[in-house]
Chains A and B, each alone.
Chain A
């Protein structure tokens, strides 16, 4: 599965793929410094690491569930659209759809970690 973030398959890696490793010692030190600064900048931008969360949601996903959305005309239209008018797609769920559903199951079976 493609890692979360960009088309760079290696995007989970914190090192900057633009830096090349060379045998020249001075050059190698510069590379390390840049990497260190890259990490500082990332930390400065945000302390959140959404990739971890995505991986756990992904792992608990049930195959086939939600596929209907990807086939919907509105979704396809939004995906291919340009301009501000259709920039946002908002999917909203009735509070009953997810939560009550799980509550009903919980009554009959012990609670699990899912909320």
Chain B
């Protein structure tokens, strides 16, 4: 459900972006792709999206050309990337960075990511960051952003019912389901979840 909510927030922001001067960059962390999800690769992906608005700035082009001259080309380093992002943010309007599923990153990557985000936000006070994840990463977020706005995702019963109905409608073997069972699921599951 958090993933649902993140994608809703991203779309909502993108729709706002159409009218106003804002740019949105976002990413879903996935525990199946932990190796690829270094702080550098995540922030690089966000930057790529933000640059789609105005194209690649000259300062980035220069850094890239310089790095490429080295032996076999040097991979982008986290600290350099944070500086590139900070410079890029100056020429962008209000930016929203959205990262879903923080708990799916390994702790080292998560710590680097949060610290980098703090560094970025300090340099660009108009940038907003939307994060989502399991409650156990809440303290880590608090450590980097003491004043972060925290919202618990407790879906209203109506949302659970909608979701459940969709899942039951998509049941690949509807023959295993009878009307009574369906009624029972719709009766019991939303109540159980809302009591958690």
Contacts and interface: CB of A to CB of B under 8 A. Distances in A.
Interface in A68-87: 68-70, 72, 74-75, 77-79, 81-87
Interface in B1-15: 1-12, 14-15
A97 B193 contact: yes
B10 A94 contact: no
Contact of A4 (B14, B128, B137, B151): B14
Contacts of B154: 94, 97
Max chain A Cβ within 10 angstroms of own Cβ: one of B49, B68, B131, B177: B49
Contact of B152 (A1, A87, A94): A94
A64 B7 contact: no
B117 to A, nearest CB: 8
Given A50-B28, A88-B149, A90-B151, A108 B181 contact: yes
B185 A93 contact: no
B127 interface: yes
B121 A98 contact: no
Interface string B23-61: 111111010000011001111111111111111100011
Interface residues on A, range: 35 or more
Interface in A25-80: 37-38, 40-42, 44-51, 53-54, 57-58, 61-70, 72, 74-75, 77-79
B8 A67 contact: yes
How many residues of B sit at the interface, in one of the four size bands? Answer: 35 or more
B29 to A, nearest CB: 10
Given A72-B151, A90-B148, A6 B45 contact: no
A93 to B, nearest CB: 4
A44 B64 contact: yes
Contacts of B25: 5-6
Contacts of B106: none
B193 A90 contact: no
Interface of B: 1-12, 14-15, 17-18, 21-28, 30, 36-37, 40-56, 60-61, 64, 67-68, 73, 75-76, 81, 117, 121-122, 125-135, 137-138, 141, 145, 147-156, 158-160, 162-164, 166-168, 170-173, 176-177, 181, 185, 189, 192-193, 196
